[in-house]
Structure 1
């Protein structure tokens, strides 16, 4: 993924959009720090449809008896 300054992005926005649609996203930087990623709508839709690990866990078909009981007083020693 290419990095491009904000000033250069303003001057070449149309080309950046064409690249993003073709599957070549760009990172726009401000003062040398990454700020924004420009990617095509199709890629954004694909990425936004991927569930987070937390959502996958919440959607798992588990019953309370499927999980082991916890011993709240037992801690393992830490190796430091």
Structure 2
């Protein structure tokens, strides 16, 4: 992923967008600090629809009885 200064990105914005559409995102920097990323719409949609771990678990179809029971044996003293 290439880095490009904001002032340079302004001058060649069309080329930066064309590169992003071809799958080559760019990091926009300002005063040497990373500020933004230009990526294709398709890539953004793919990344923004990744489900959270909680949603994956909820969608798994597991019922409470499907999970093993926790042991009733007390934990040993760690000696801290």
Please, what TM-score do these two structures have when normalized by structure 2?
0.75
Match of 1:21 in 2: 21
Count of equivalent residues: 78
**2:53 equivalent to 1:48:** no
Please state whether the residue corresponding to 1:4 is helix, strand or coil: strand
CA RMSD between the two structures: 2.5
Q: Which sections of structure 1, spanning at least 5 residues, go unmatched?
A: none
Cα distance in 2 for partners of 1:68, 1:42 equals 41
User: Which structure has the greater CA radius of gyration?
Assistant: 2
Structure 1 residues 24 and 63 mapped into 2: Cα distance closer, same or farther (>3 Å)? same
